A and B are shown apart, each in its own frame.
Chain A
């Protein structure tokens, strides 16, 4: 029952944050960040299993591995950006969080450029001249 473990850790950390926040808000922020990291580290093992499955599937169906690599990179960027933005938002800096999210979106767009190019070329090939 890993779900119960995670909920337990979350509730416990919330109570500890509430206790520490009264005295030292800085420590409360670091504690919240640390809890987020712990839960994320716990989840990343599970995510890797899913990704290995996807990799196997891609190899079996002869898809160009560059596409899979790009998609995985995009997912990684999305996770990192979301995590960072939420931590910064916790500290009350809404505008910096918005900029982190913007940077994540733009980097994803840049990563996707090769795929978009391939799609456009395919569509142009299909069109009757």
Chain B
């Protein structure tokens, strides 16, 4: 369970830091860079969530569907 809880903190941290970087870049007048940062952060977090979801579905398959 410990590893998973760490991942929750990781995602929240990534979100907060990305928001900070977005604000700073916006203040500097680099709108397009700010949007790219948001997109990359989003993709990283999405990758984490999707790999975890894959894990979950595999568990469900092995337990419920006898495979």
Residues of A within 8 A of B (CB): 5, 9, 12-13, 16-17, 19-20, 23-24, 26-28, 30-31, 33-35, 37-38, 40-42, 44, 47-48, 51, 69, 72-73, 75-76, 79-80
Query: Nearest chain-B residue to A87 (Cβ)?
Result: B53
B32: CB under 8 A from chain A? no
Interface residues on B, range: 20 to 34
* Contact status of A42 and B1, CB under 8 A, knowing A31-B8, A34-B49, A34-B52: yes
User: Chain B's interface: helix, strand, loop or mixed, by majority?
Assistant: helix
What is B's interface to A at a CB cutoff of 8 Å? 1, 4-5, 7-9, 11-12, 14-16, 18-19, 22, 38, 41-42, 45-46, 48-49, 52-53, 55-57, 59-61, 63-66
Give Cα A86–Cα B12 distance, bound, in whole angstroms.
21
A-B contact pairs, 10 of them (CB 8 A): A16-B8, A17-B12, A19-B12, A24-B15, A26-B42, A33-B49, A37-B52, A37-B53, A37-B55, A41-B56
- Is the CB–CB distance between B11 and A34 below 8 Å? yes
Query: Taking each of A23, A27, A33, which has the highest tally of chain B beta carbons within 10 Å of its own beta carbon?
Result: A27
